[in-house]
Amino acid sequence: MKKLTTWMLALLMCVVTLGMMVSCNNGDDDDDDLGPEPVPGQVTEVSGNITQNTTWTASNQYLLKGFVYVQPGVTLTIQPGTVIKGDQASRGSLFILPGAKIMADGTKEKPIVFTSNKPAGQRRAGDWGGLVIMGKAPANKKDFKIEGEEVSVVPGGTTGDAADNSGVIRYVRIEFAGIAFQTDKEINGLTLAGVGNGTVIDYVQVSYSGDDAIEWFGGTVNAKHLVAYRTLDDDFDTDYGFSGTVQYGLILRDPAVADQCTCSDSNGFESDNDGTGSQDAPQTSARFANISLFIAPGAVNSKYRSAFRIRRNSAISVYNSVVAGAYPKGGLELEGADTQNNFINGKSDYRGLTIVNAKSIVTGDSVRLKAADRKNTFGAVETDLKLAANFNSLTGRPGMLPQTGSPLLNGGVTLPTGLEANTVIGAFGTTDWTETWTNFDPQNTDYTLN
């Protein structure tokens, strides 16, 4: 019996050991497998393809090396408070491919941060690539590629899924992105390509982007509570038939800093139907409301152009928004006959606009724009707006809320269906929605892993 018992115990140990070996090797054996779960407090380098559902935890940090792709059918979950850094040498970037999801659902107290891998004091715009989300929603181009990503294709086309869901981006900061992958070709801070309205984009700050802060290529996604801070190129850029709604946005620019590319200039908004101004459908027809667009004091760089540069057959609409900045070309620029006709024919609309310090209107039907029922105010005096004394300060945190008696608090128009009802002009009424989660000094923030 003793020998039999010993033999049975040995056999049992072999079975258990074999079971453990099978269990440990039962995952995807793809060469790009990210390997075992990192131990707490570890900086993990991430590269290649993410091929299985993955969670990034707040107790660790993650360094993007090269282009990292979340593959179709895979969900990347990022815990609140997690810090993700981008490697400069390899142009670290994160791409969410069509059919994949990112669940980056931070909180007001614990935002998720994508930032530079450089130490405090040495960070610059373009230190890494950026965050690119690709979906399956309609666009006026079929099977198109994103600047900076020459391999993966966004399905696009008129038959896309308007309700496509690419996940959640909420309480997220993106800092020092926009690296150039070729001369005069950079990745944006946040790129949304064919992203559907099943996706949540809310409470997002893009700071020091080396290209645009946020660019939409087609898609139907809606967004709220966006901050673009000290962008080099355009702050909000719309192309390829983007048709979502965007409400509550703060744009604050450094007058000395602009895009030095020979092929472009710097605007608050730049909007095209596409690069050629074609009649392709769906037409770029997004609706923006409650935007505050400010330039800090000082001489404006020669590469600045307009607050709203609407061109190339775009038909976007802007409501209840304020501009205070010395844009040399103009506040509202409707460029080209097709763009102007979109306004005349009612495809686009501009109401509740207050523009100071910039030439108010460049081309377009100025009589129609100045109609009393539109409540547009062009050529106002900045002091009459009763903004906070430091509303456009680049030193410390800017003042967000208009002061008592400001015409911005209730001077707007009734907003169209689909936008949250209010008559506030600009991004803020009596509530500062940027509190706690934003950062207006990421250059000096300590992101060292504890």
Placement of tokens 């707040």 in the chain? 58
Q: Which residues of 360-384 are buried (b: 16+ CB within 10 A; e: fewer)?
A: bbbebeeeebeeeebbbbbebeeee
Q: Enumerate residue ranges in the chain where pLDDT < 50.
A: 1-35
Cα angle, residue 324 at apex, residues 184 and 113 outer, rounded to 5°: 55
Distances (CA, A) of 136 to 154, 193, 202: 7, 8, 20
DSSP H helical ranges for 284-380 = 337-344, 366-369
Would you call 38 exposed, middle or buried from its count of C-beta atoms within 10 A (0-12, 13-18, 19+)? middle
User: What does the pLDDT read at residue 181?
Assistant: 80
Strand partners, 69: 49, 95
Assigned domain for 450 exists:
no
User: What does the pLDDT read at residue 43?
Assistant: 96
Q: Which residues have a Cβ under 8 Å from the Cβ of 65 and sit 6 or more positions away? A: 45, 46, 47, 87, 90, 92
User: What does the pLDDT read at residue 362?
Assistant: 73
Collapsing DSSP to helix, strand or coil, 189 comes out as coil
Assigned domain for 98 exists:
yes
Assigned domain for 59 exists:
yes
Residue 16 is inside which H or E element, if any?
helix 2-24
Assigned domain for 18 exists:
no
Assigned domain for 167 exists:
yes
* Residue-range definition of the domain harbouring residue 98: 44-444
Taking alpha carbons only, the member of 289, 305, 181 closest to residue 253 is: 305
**Do 249 and 222 touch, CB atoms closer than 8 A?**
no
| Number of separate domains in the chain | 1
Assigned domain for 106 exists:
yes
Assigned domain for 69 exists:
yes
Q: Rounded CA gap, 217 and 201, in Å? A: 15
Assigned domain for 368 exists:
yes
